[in-house]
Amino acid sequence: MVTSVHGAGHRASRCTRRQRPFLLCLVVVIVCLASACLTILVFRSGASATRSRAKPVVGERAPDFALKDVQGREFRLSDRTGQTPVVIEFGSYTCPYCIATLEPMKSLARKYNGKVEFVIVYCKEAHPGMKMKSMTGHGDLPVLEQTNSFQERVERAARFGREMKIPQRILVDEDGENSIQEMYSDLPNQTIVVDVNGVVRSMGSTDPRNLDLLLRESLSQAARDQ
pLDDT of residue 189: 77
What contacts 114, CB < 8 A, 6 or more positions away?
Answer: none
Name the pairing type of β-strands 191-194 and 200-204: antiparallel
Cβ-based burial of 10 (10 A; exposed 0-12, middle 13-18, buried ≥19):
exposed
Residue 222 has φ and ψ, to the nearest 5°, of -65, -40
Burial 52-82 (b: 16+ CB within 10 A, else e): eeeebeeeeebbebebebbeeeebebeebbe
pLDDT of residue 51: 35
Helices (H), 124-177: 150-164
pLDDT of residue 43: 38
CA angle 88, 165, 202 (to 5 degrees): 15
Helices (H), the chain: 2-53, 96-100, 102-111, 150-164, 180-184, 208-225
> Which portions of the chain are predicted below pLDDT 70?
1-54, 132-140, 188
How many other C-beta atoms lie within 10 A of the C-beta of residue 19?
Answer: 11
Which of 107, 113, 196, 123 minimizes the C-alpha distance to 156? 123
Given phi > 0 = left and psi -120 to 50 = alpha, else beta, which region is 50? alpha
pLDDT digits (tens, 9 = 90+) for 88-117: 999 998 888 888 899 999 999 999 999 999
Q: Are 173 and 182 in contact (CB under 8 A)?
A: no
Q: What is the pTM of this model?
A: 0.73
Burial 121-142 (b: 16+ CB within 10 A, else e): bbbbbbbeeeeeebeeeeeebe
pLDDT of residue 49: 37
pLDDT of residue 48: 37
